[in-house]
Amino acid sequence: MTSPDNPGAQRLTPAELQAVSFRRAQLGRRGFDEDQVRAFLGQVEQELVRVLNEKAAMQHEVGRLRDRITGNPQGITTAQAEDAHIQAVRILSKAQETADHYVADAQRYSRELAEEARRGRDEILAEAKARAVLVLEEAHRQATMAAEQVVPSSEPFSGDERRNLESEIAYLRTFSDVYRTHLRSYLEALLRNVEEWEHSERDSLSSARAPLPRSR
Amino acid sequence: MDAQGLKDNFAQVAQHGDAVALFFYSDLFLRNPGLREMFSIGMSHQRDRLLSALGRIVAQVDNLPELVPFVRQLGADHRKFGVEALHYPEVGQSLVATLRYFSGAAWTEALARDWTDAYTLLAKVMVEAAEEDAKQRPAWWNARVIAHERRRFDLAVMRLVTDRPLPFQAGQSVAVEVPARPRMWRYYSMANAPRPDNTLDFHVRLIDGGPVSPVLVRAAVPGDWLKLGPPVGTMTFDERSGRDVLLVAGSTGLAPLKAILERIALSPAPPRVHLFFGARTTDGLYDLDDLTKRAAGSPWLTVVPAVSDDRAEGTAEQGVLADVVARHGLWRDHDAYVCGSPAMVDATTESLVRLGLGTDRIRSDKFADA
């Protein structure tokens, strides 16, 4: 355990936290939510880093003050310049951290959007497939009805044969009519969709395409 | 030089984690503002890489035979970023300042001297390696897109032509930088054996939220210029083994294996080759037409497509590659080449080892997920 009286004792470090791994919960058993555990560990790690950095900063400050008390007068200007540099380093580090957060947020946002779009695509595809099956069934149903409604006539063909042929023709004609109508309306909707997509995709792409410098 | 002293000091400093690299880069940019633009806007990955490279170097600081090749590689790799000899002292100064800051009261004159000596030595090795590398090849190649084909909304096959020959071995990859995402290099494998006309094929899958792949898949058009780094990678064809060959490709992991396939096709007496090409869904088998055509013209080649999530149609098999490959027989006397996502490569390798294939006969390459 950590003890202030024994500086040699094993301390918990951020690196150790990063290396912690948990066994997976057995199949069918409940365990901790892995994401939650990870997120918490990340928080703890950041906190430790922060504490350690504060400590380093304070040590630096102590050293500076000690130098000032015991200090040689010539050292003071160099010490001040160094202080200013350390301050600048801290400010720049803060700025960089902020930039990194923004970049990470933007990337996560873009990943989530893309994943959502991908799910949307899969759903649209699945729905289209299901719909195609329905359209086919509907066409069959209507065509069968049309075929059954063919009235027998008294022309030279033998009655059954003719009737069969006529039903067949009626079936196919209706089937193709129904199928074509459905297909046309569906394809038109699909095309509109695609056009919208293409439009928004064009708008979202950066137009930055600089020529490259020659390599040495 | 007191190697253990350096290790202990670094262990103490490294406790501060990310803050160490953050301090280092801020110090470096404040002293040399011009260096900032050699890096991308987001720096968190860069800091992780710096810390892990430093950690590795310090761990081996008393084991030069292991350390020198790694450092030489680092030196040569940094040429494509525009790093030159004059940058090394600037980096050294900031490195020592950083170590000193985080060491606090533990900092001594002896440590300062040892770190400076160690860094000077490393910098010398890196600069020398870079200079030797410069005699053999350019720091980077410019390449123009001459064809771009979208095989699915998130998959593109593209052909580039380089401004000068780029010698490589089938199975290798290069780092790619696009002008729209400066300083962000991502590795892609060549999907062809070297050609005399300097053209290179790449297979790119769009990674949701990634910075580079969406640009390559959605925005690249013929005429665009890209930068390519030197070829790297060890998953190359072992032409002297003479054994039959098993190629297992998950999604765009196909690219380097297709290059190896082309390389095999050039040999006078090709061995028997089985190529398994897997994807989650049927429309993910984006290059199957070409593979089928090749198989039809090459009696030594068998292509087996596989889908894991869709119901298999046509010639495709059902299942994940690890299982499909296992179903197809004994691979004990083959050389295996496996490329795809980390999960796919691990599962397939495990499956092959279980079937009695030695790990020394399996060469693999994992694709990064981001």
For residues B306 and B278, state if they share a domain: yes
CB pair distance less than 8 Å for B138 and A52? no
Asked whether residue B311 is assigned to any structural domain, the reply reads: yes
Q: Specify the number of domains making up chain A.
A: 1
- The answer to whether residue A75 scores a pLDDT higher than 70 is no
User: Higher pLDDT residue, A36 or A1?
Assistant: A36
Asked whether residue B234 is assigned to any structural domain, the reply reads: no
Asked whether residue B233 is assigned to any structural domain, the reply reads: no
Q: What string of DSSP letters covers B66-93?
A: HHHHHHHHHHHHGGGGT--TTHHHHHHH
pLDDT-flagged residues of chain B (< 70): 369-370
pLDDT of residue A30: 66
| Residue whose C-alpha is closest to residue A207's, from B159, B215, B146 | B215
Query: Tell me, what CATH number does B289's domain have?
Result: 3.40.50.80
Range of weakest confidence among A47-61, A82-96, B137-151, B261-275:
A47-61
For residues B111 and B217, state if they share a domain: no
Q: Of B202, B228, B254, at which residue does a domain stop?
A: B228
Residue type at A120?
A: G
Q: How many other CB atoms sit within 10 Å of the CB of residue B226? A: 24
B334 and B357 Cβ atoms separated by less than 8 Å: yes
In angstroms, the CA A120 to CA A172 distance is 36
For residues B51 and B69, state if they share a domain: yes
| Residue whose C-alpha is closest to residue B155's, from B223, B202, B225, B200 | B202
Query: Tell me, what CATH number does B155's domain have?
Result: 2.40.30.10
∠ CA B285-B290-B293 to the nearest 5 degrees? Answer: 125
Tens digits of residue pLDDT in B321-343:
999 999 998 898 999 999 999 99
For residues B194 and B274, state if they share a domain: no
Check if B86 contacts A (Cβ < 8 Å): no
In angstroms, the CA B141 to CA A216 distance is 10
Residue type at B147?
A: A
For residues B25 and B64, state if they share a domain: yes
CB pair distance less than 8 Å for B15 and A14? yes
Asked whether residue B236 is assigned to any structural domain, the reply reads: no
Asked whether residue B174 is assigned to any structural domain, the reply reads: yes
**Shortest CA gap B302–chain A (Å):** 32
Check if B104 contacts A (Cβ < 8 Å): yes
For residues B7 and B125, state if they share a domain: yes
Domain that holds residue B304: 244-366
Asked whether residue A56 is assigned to any structural domain, the reply reads: yes
| Residue whose C-alpha is closest to residue B1's, from B120, B125, B123, B129 | B120
Q: What is the mean pLDDT of residues A54-77?
A: 74
SS3 letters across A149-191: CCCCCCCCCCHHHHHHHHHHHHHHHHHHHHHHHHHHHHHHHHH
Domain that holds residue A56: 12-22+33-72
For residues B60 and B157, state if they share a domain: no
**Shortest CA gap B368–chain A (Å):** 16
Asked whether residue B78 is assigned to any structural domain, the reply reads: yes
Q: Specify the number of domains making up chain B.
A: 3
What is the predicted ipTM? 0.78
For residues B119 and B149, state if they share a domain: no
Q: Which residues of chain B have a CB within 8 Å of the CB of A49? A: 16-19
- Name the one residue in this structure whose structure tokens are 């294996």: B257
CB pair distance less than 8 Å for B19 and A206? no
* Residues constituting chain A: 216
User: Higher pLDDT residue, B264 or A54?
Assistant: B264
Tens digits of residue pLDDT in A99-141:
999 999 998 999 999 899 889 988 988 888 888 888 888 888 8
Minimal Cβ distance to B29: which of A59, A92, A216: A92
Residue type at A197?
A: W
For residues B157 and B127, state if they share a domain: no
Check if A191 contacts B (Cβ < 8 Å): no
For residues B24 and B129, state if they share a domain: yes
B94 and B35 Cβ atoms separated by less than 8 Å: no
For residues B258 and B211, state if they share a domain: no
User: Higher pLDDT residue, A5 or A195?
Assistant: A195
Asked whether residue B235 is assigned to any structural domain, the reply reads: no
Asked whether residue B237 is assigned to any structural domain, the reply reads: no
Residues 6+ apart with CB under 8 A from A144: A171
CB pair distance less than 8 Å for B23 and A93? yes
Beta bridge partners, B274, equal B246, B302
- The answer to whether residue A207 scores a pLDDT higher than 80 is no
In angstroms, the CA B341 to CA A41 distance is 26
B18 and B102 Cβ atoms separated by less than 8 Å: no
Check if A119 contacts B (Cβ < 8 Å): no
| Residue whose C-alpha is closest to residue B246's, from B275, B269, B271, B223 | B275
- % of chain A beyond a pLDDT of 90: 12
- The answer to whether residue A158 scores a pLDDT higher than 90 is no
For residues B8 and B124, state if they share a domain: yes
CB pair distance less than 8 Å for A215 and B16? no
pLDDT of residue A9: 44
